[in-house]
Amino acid sequence: MTVSGMPPYDDNNIFARILRGEIPAKKVREDEWSLAFHDINPQAPTHVLVIPKGRYCSFADFSATASADEIAGFIRAVGTVARMLGLEAPGYRILANMGDHGGQEVPHLHIHLFAGRSLGRMIPGP
Ligand code: AMP
């Protein structure tokens, strides 16, 4: 089921629960600003999610209301995870679904990091 991606933030969403340690996740990297972990239902050989630690519903919410430090820390973390996993030479794709038409299902901002094969067209046809 898709979500609007707009506030108010739901503290019981699954990624909030992962951040609180209530639900396990296969962690890749963690720092002050972000947590990266493997997607439970991978769509590519490598499919990692990177989330900010702050309470942001979506990219729309984060880009409008996060501090400059949070934005810099989070975006740097996405690039660092890709570098750490050795994905820069073969290449990778990042994607953030926002709201109903974006297909967002979890109402906490997450960047998908896909890699491990040639990923084809940007948006698959209907
Ligand atoms: P989105 O459609 O962009 O909101 O994507 C949500 C993603 O979260 C999907 O790719 C799910 O497979 C993934 N997901 C849902 N629950 C978990 C979980 N407990 N651990 C890891 N990934 C999850």
pLDDT digits (tens, 9 = 90+) for 39-71: 999 999 999 999 999 999 999 999 999 999 999
Per-residue pLDDT at 122? 85
Question: Would you say the CB of residue 106 lies under 6 angstroms from ligand 1?
Answer: yes
Q: Which ligand 1 atom sits nearest the alpha carbon of residue 23?
A: 19
Per-residue model confidence as pLDDT tens digits over 85-98: 999 999 999 999 99
Higher pLDDT, 92 or 125: 92
Helix/strand/coil percent split, the chain, to 5:
25, 20, 55
CA distance 28 to 30: 7
Ligand 1 centroid to Cα of residue 13, in Å, is 11
Q: Which ligand 1 atom sits nearest the alpha carbon of residue 106?
A: 4
Mean pLDDT over 26-38 rounds to 98
Non-local (6+) Cβ contacts of 28 within 8 A are 36, 37, 38, 48, 81, 84, 85
Per-residue pLDDT at 36? 99
112 is catalytic: no
Mean pLDDT over 14-38 rounds to 98
Q: Which two tokens stand for residue 101?
A: 């038409």
